[in-house]
Amino acid sequence: MVRVQVVSRFPSPVTFLSQALNQEIGIVSGTQSTGVVRPFSAMETTARLIDITELPVDAIVNAANETLAPGGGVCGAIHRVAGPRLAAACARVAPCPTGEARITPGFGLSARFVIHAVGPVWTGGDANEPELLASAYRWSLSIAHEKGLASVAFPAISTGIYGYPLADATRIAVAAVSSASEDCPRVKRVVFACFSEDALDAYLREGVREDQDLLETFDPSGRRAHGSPLGLRLTVRAAGASDADAIGRISADREGRDRHKVISAVRRSLEDKSMGEGSLILVAEVDGRVVGFGKARYLSSSSSSGADALPGGWYLTGLVVDPRFRRRGIGTRLTSERLRWIAERSRRVYYFANARNRVSMALHDAHGFVEIARAPQFGEVTFVGGEGVLFAADLEGTGPKDS
């Protein structure tokens, strides 16, 4: 289990969060109550939302074509990270029939090896697709076992341009890995690397446990292949000008905007000394890498009147976490730290959200917010296609009561 320590610059005025934030926290993997019961296996199987090329496992599986040539999707991503030597190595072991697999070195990847598994093209289910897909998983694990590899990461084979329905493919994948565990005892751990929330949810529905660790530890020596010690920490701190590139990248990728323009705008904001005490940006780092940020801002009383008027005070105004690190509690910690900071300045905090945004709407449950108004517009913010909800929470802190 990875030990995570939350490091804070601020005192602890928010009583309902203090115990969790003032001690070292062990992130423990939870289970999903799906009603799906799987037989016991010595092979640990988990699912995780992550770029498969970043996993420091013994082997990652490539969703390959029969010629083992570089392609699109996960195949193209693996070849880009591994470098041109991977294509040359693939040419030496090609071709590979559908339902089988081949192995090559990992070259520039964190993984030591790449297992190239060829899944079927979906044509409706009557061309032996389920059997061929299951065979691709079994071949991969058999190769890993023969090589003495303890950890393997799979993508959702055939669900990209090959068109295999995601729910059916994940069900076959989980069953194939489970059935192969007795024949492949050297493989101790399998990770289903998910490219989207939908893919992760599909594995969870099949009874696979979501991996809650911030980063995985597969090497029994406690070190990754590149030698970085695995004593990882989550640190939340105030953002500085040097964080502009990371914040801009995460924000641009989420919104599908031009990175250079967003980074430039973020850099100007961080360097703007007029921000003063009227705003705050916190960043979350995992092992020194920025993986998310949260904002707070002081807003004067809205000039508008009626239902859309905004009361003056401190607002939580933005929270973005790198998709590869979602569901890891990072957003909760960023929110907690912003509340701690605001509590030094005010006894009340606000935020507003689109009523259709389930994630934002859930904030009031986690942090004691209550709904105080609903309107299609608050101040200058119009909620396109939905209704806005204004929330408020009272904090126990040192700030003025009438703030």
37 and 79 together in one domain: yes
Residue 106 lies inside a defined structural domain of this protein: yes
Domain boundary among 210, 244, 260: 210
- 300 part of a folded domain: yes
Does 132 lie in the same domain as 93?
yes
Q: Please report the pLDDT score of residue 220 as a whole number.
A: 32
Q: What is the CATH number of the domain that holds 317?
A: 3.40.630.30
Q: Note whether 205 and 285 are same-domain residues.
A: no
Residue finishing a domain among 171, 194, 210: 210
11 within a domain of the structure (yes/no) = no
10 Å Cβ neighbour count for 81? 19
List the CATH number of the domain containing 194: 3.40.220.10
Helix (H) or strand (E) holding 343: helix 330-343
| pLDDT by position in tens, the chain (length 403) | 223 232 323 332 232 222 322 222 222 222 333 333 333 346 889 998 888 988 878 999 999 999 999 988 899 989 999 999 999 999 999 999 999 999 999 999 989 999 999 999 999 999 999 999 999 999 999 999 999 999 999 999 999 999 999 999 999 999 999 999 889 999 999 999 988 878 888 999 999 988 755 343 333 333 333 333 333 467 888 888 888 888 888 888 777 788 888 888 888 877 764 444 578 888 888 767 788 898 898 887 754 555 567 888 999 888 888 876 665 667 778 888 888 889 888 889 998 887 776 656 666 666 678 888 888 877 777 776 668 888 898 887 655 654 4
Domains in the chain, number: 2
Are residues 136 and 38 part of one domain?
Answer: yes
Locate 368 and state its tokens. 């004691």
Q: Are residues 281 and 203 in the same domain?
A: no
Say whether both 238 and 203 belong to one domain.
no
Threshold 0.75, pTM exceeds: no
For residue 98, give its domain range. Answer: 30-210
Same domain, 312 and 200: no
Do 240 and 199 lie in one domain? The reply is no
Which structure tokens are listed for 376? 């299609």
Same domain, 38 and 157: yes
Closest by alpha carbon to 294, among 234, 337, 262, 260?
A: 337
Residue 204: count other Cβ atoms within 10 Å of its Cβ. 18
Do residues 68 and 144 both lie within one domain?
yes
Instruction: Give the number of other Cβ atoms within 10 Å of residue 387's Cβ.
Output: 12
- Does the residue 315 lie in any domain? yes
Q: Write the burial class of residue 31 (CB in 10 Å: 0-12 exposed, 13-18 middle, 19+ buried).
A: exposed
Report the SS3 class of residue 268: helix
Question: Does 47 fall in a domain?
Answer: yes
Query: Is 17 within the bounds of a domain?
Result: no
Let me know whether 275 and 200 are in one domain.
no
Are 111 and 155 in a shared domain?
yes
Whether residue 338 is contained in a domain is answered as yes
Q: Is residue 21 part of a domain?
A: no
